């Protein structure tokens, strides 16, 4: 496990003091986008003490960003474009020029806010983004296949999983969550307070996120979906203790038995549509009082559990990829896509055939907190059952009813069509690279993450003969309310290395040296990014500052070089987990790839996605080239003496 590993909180065993929260009346609940995301000031106790100790996100020096921007463009734009951009950059960065003014504006913003970027990022990366959340924003996670093949096993596992989430929730409520570390530094824990009891809500121009975890009357129920029908299931007893898995199991059985019919309208499919269409349909839907109340119960629930029908049978080779697709989009309107509420932050998916995983709405949090929760649950589900005391009969879970008018039916039909097109268009390949994991690069004294990224550059170069703008997520959680910045993997060092690999005349020793240089350059970029000194969020901030100040848009933001730099044909992310799971997400451009990986000690779990409608991309081919590139680099290092570094 990387430095990202959960570091055991020595105080975790201490008496758990119930968190007392300064409460707000329910009417004062505002969407996250309008209030600061659970501001540290509202959560007293350990959390606050921890958060207050974290530094604020810095605004990098302007000249540093401009120089690094020009460097980053070198391997991806033509000489002509580069020279043009160099002149624009020089103009922008002159003392007293517009760049200077915007920089000062950003610095003022940084003084006034807890984090100058986080609210802007939430808005621009998520809430103002109009594409469907399905495939385009919500990631999927495939958990290890469970050993059950029937409804009984499915419900037993679901019950245990729910109990595991509630166990994790106790740590959130009591503030006994182990603090995470990266590079030896403690990380912001705010995202853990955003993922339970929250939901995205569509809006005409931008969405919002609501979080009910810290309201006067926090929710005590979850929502369960089966055969497209939603149920509200209370998971706490009247004395505030959580239901046991035996109790939950019996409640799930009741739900199952009252939702045997499969001819129901898949109302949840509405959430998969383009955000503007969904916002319109949402207004129509909640005009009806019953519908409005049902939607509210889903939004307010702690999380959602989707009891899926078995996934379509495929060959063993394709099984993982098929499950990946299920976790990403549900397989289309005929399969399980109607068994979702894609705006819900956390949806645990458990199918009758033992496949299981998660779909999550990305606005409130990055992958690592979600994966920490999954690691906890997976361990929890392995615990043996205790013998329980006799149970008091529990009331029937409430079915959430929807009145489907012809207009709503029409909206559902349109959403189905769009979703099915998207499902057809999305190609997901999941593969386990079995030959080595973090162990090999570590033995070679190389950063495993950088090693994988350089291999990806080689794979891409071999497929296309050029390099492309590449995005890797870097965590900014060393800073209070930090989200992410971009590691630009396409460095000149990576370019020199991949070119050498394609030149049979170059000696191995030279190639190996170039490889080490490329890996070290990537690791150096990573260090700079996680310390808040990368370029992408800074440039975004300067641009948004120009919009806020109503300055006419400076030319560097309208330049083709920037468009190339932001067209991420490779959108990648490492999400390490203790559990042997695979995460997946879609490409961010029509002709791109989404690549996610979880490096384990002796193997690497990969997912590669692409759109079938793009003739130039092919997920299976990319997966193949990636595997070959990793092996070729291993061979190269094995054929040359170890570095003395």
Residue ranges binding ligand COA (CB under 6 A): 1-4, 182, 366-368, 438, 442, 445-449, 473-475, 484, 523, 526, 530, 573-575
Q: Which residues pair with 230 in a beta bridge?
A: 225
Q: Which of 367, 369, 441, 592 binds ligand HC5 (CB under 6 A)?
A: 367
SS3 content of the chain, % helix, strand, coil (to 5): 45, 15, 40
| Contact letters for ligand HC5, residues 138-177 (x by CB under 6 A) | -x-x------------------------------------
Region 582-611 residues binding ligand HC5, contact defined as CB under 6 A: 583, 585, 588, 596
Q: Are 199 and 299 in contact (CB under 8 A)?
A: yes
Q: CB of 534: closest distance to ligand HC5 in angstroms? A: 11
The string of DSSP codes covering 545-603 is HHHHTTPPPPGGGS-HHHHHHH--SEEEEE---SS--EEE---SSTT-EEEEEEE-SS-
Strand partners, 358: 141, 348
Give me Rg for the CA atoms of the chain: 25
Q: Which does 301 bind (CB under 5 to 8 A by kind): ligand COA, ligand HC5, none?
A: none
Among residues 220, 473, 561, 607, which is the contact residue for ligand HC5, using CB under 6 A? Answer: 473
250 neighbors 155 (Cβ within 8 angstroms): no
Q: Please, what sign has the CA dihedral across residues 569, 575, 580, 583?
A: negative
Size of the site for ligand HC5 (CB under 6 A): 15
Task: Identify the H or E element spanning 346.
Answer: strand 346-351
Give the three-class secondary structure for 186.
Answer: strand
206 is catalytic: no
Report phi then psi at 58, rounded to 5: -80, 160
Please say which residue, 139 or 397, places its beta carbon nearer to ligand HC5.
139
Q: Are 215 and 230 in contact (CB under 8 A)?
A: no
Active-site annotation holder among 221, 362, 522, 538: 362
Residue 349 touches ligand HC5, criterion: CB under 6 A: no
- Which residues does 238 contact at the CB level (< 8 Å), separation at least 6? none
Structure tokens at 438: 């973090």
Q: Measure the CA–CA gap between 30 and 392, rounded to whole angstroms.
A: 37
Q: By CB under 6 A, which span of 127-135, 282-290, 392-400, 569-577 interacts with ligand HC5? A: 569-577
If binding is defined by CB under 6 A, does position 132 make contact with ligand HC5? no
- Residue 368 contact among ligand HC5, ligand COA, none, beta carbon within 5 to 8 Å by kind: ligand COA
Q: How far apart are CA 307 and CA 259, in angstroms?
A: 11
448 binds, among ligand COA, ligand HC5, none (CB under 5 to 8 A by kind): ligand COA
Q: Which does 583 bind (CB under 5 to 8 A by kind): ligand HC5, ligand COA, none?
A: ligand HC5
From 108-116, 274-282, 364-372, 403-411, span contacting ligand HC5 (CB under 6 A): 364-372
The item of ligand HC5, ligand COA, none sharing an interface with residue 429, based on CB under 5 to 8 Å by kind, is: none
Catalytic residue positions? 362
Residues near ligand HC5 (CB under 6 A) are 139, 141, 366-367, 370, 471, 473, 484, 571, 573, 575, 583, 585, 588, 596
């Amino acid at each position: 496990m990387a430095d990202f590993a959960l570091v055991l909180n020595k105080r975790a065993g201490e008496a758990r003091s119930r968190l007392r929260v300064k409460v707000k009346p329910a009417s004062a609940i505002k969407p996250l986008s309008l209030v600061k995301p659970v501001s540290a000031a509202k959560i007293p106790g350990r959390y606050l003490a921890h958060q207050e100790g974290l530094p604020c996100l810095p605004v990098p020096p302007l000249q540093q960003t401009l120089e690094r921007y020009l460097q980053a463009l070198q391997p991806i734009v033509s000489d002509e474009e580069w020279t043009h951009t160099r002149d624009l950059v020089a103009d922008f960065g002159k003392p007293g020029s517009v760049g200077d003014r915007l920089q000062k504006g950003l610095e003022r913003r940084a003084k006034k806010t807890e984090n100058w970027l986080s609210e802007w990022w939430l808005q621009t990366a998520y809430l103002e983004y109009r594409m469907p959340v399905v495939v385009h924003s919500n990631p999927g996670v495939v958990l290890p296949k469970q050993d059950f093949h029937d409804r009984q096993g499915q419900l037993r596992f679901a019950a245990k999983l729910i109990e595991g989430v509630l166990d994790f929730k106790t740590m959130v409520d009591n503030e006994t969550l182990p603090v995470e570390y990266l590079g030896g530094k403690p990380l912001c824990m705010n995202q853990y307070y955003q993922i339970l009891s929250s939901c995205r809500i569509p809006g005409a121009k931008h969405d919002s996120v609501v979080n009910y975890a810290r309201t006067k009357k926090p929710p005590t129920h979850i929502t369960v979906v089966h055969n497209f029908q939603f149920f509200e299931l209370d998971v706490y007893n009247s004395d505030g203790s959580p239901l046991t898995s035996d109790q939950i199991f019996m409640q799930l059985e009741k739900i199952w038995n009252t939702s045997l019919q499969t001819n129901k309208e898949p109302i949840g499919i509405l959430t998969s549509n383009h955000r503007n269409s969904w916002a319109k349909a949402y207004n129509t839907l909640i005009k009806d009082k019953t519908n409005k109340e049902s939607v509210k119960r889903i939004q307010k629930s702690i999380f959602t559990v989707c009891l899926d029908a078995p996934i379509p049978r495929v060959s063993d080779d394709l099984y993982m990829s098929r499950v990946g697709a299920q976790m990403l989009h549900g397989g289309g309107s005929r399969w399980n896509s109607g068994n979702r509420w894609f705006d819900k932050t956390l949806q645990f998916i458990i199918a009758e055939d033992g496949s299981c995983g998660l779909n999550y709405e990305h606005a409130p949090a990055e992958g690592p907190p979600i994966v920490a929760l999954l690691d906890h649950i997976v361990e929890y589900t392995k615990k043996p059952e205790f013998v329980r005391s006799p149970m008091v009969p529990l009331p029937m879970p409430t079915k959430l009813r929807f009145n489907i008018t012809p207009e709503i039916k029409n909206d559902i039909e349109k959403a189905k069509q769009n979703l099915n097109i998207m499902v057809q268009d999305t190609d997901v390949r999941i593969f386990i690279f079995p030959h080595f994991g973090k162990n090999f690069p570590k033995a070679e004294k190389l950063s495993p993450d950088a090693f994988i990224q350089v291999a990806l550059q080689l794979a891409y170069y071999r497929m296309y003969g050029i390099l492309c703008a590449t995005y890797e997520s870097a965590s900014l959680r060393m800073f209070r309310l930090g989200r992410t910045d971009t590691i630009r993997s396409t460095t000149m060092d990576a370019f020199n290395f991949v070119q050498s690999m394609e030149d049979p005349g170059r000696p191995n020793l030279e190639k190996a040296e170039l490889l080490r240089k490329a890996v070290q350059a990537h690791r150096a970029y990573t260090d700079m990014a996680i310390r808040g000194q990368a370029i992408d969020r800074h440039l975004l901030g300067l641009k948004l500052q120009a919009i806020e100040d109503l300055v006419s848009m400076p030319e560097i933001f309208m330049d083709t070089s920037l468009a190339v730099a932001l067209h991420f044909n490779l959108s990648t992310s490492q999400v390490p987990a203790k559990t042997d799971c695979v995460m997946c997400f879609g490409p961010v451009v029509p002709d791109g790839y989404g690549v996610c990986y979880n490096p384990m000690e002796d193997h690497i779990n990969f997912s590669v996605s692409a759109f079938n409608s793009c003739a130039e991309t092919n997920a299976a081919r990319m997966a193949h080239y990636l595997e070959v590139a990793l092996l070729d680099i291993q061979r190269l290092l094995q054929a040359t003496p170890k570095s003395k570094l």
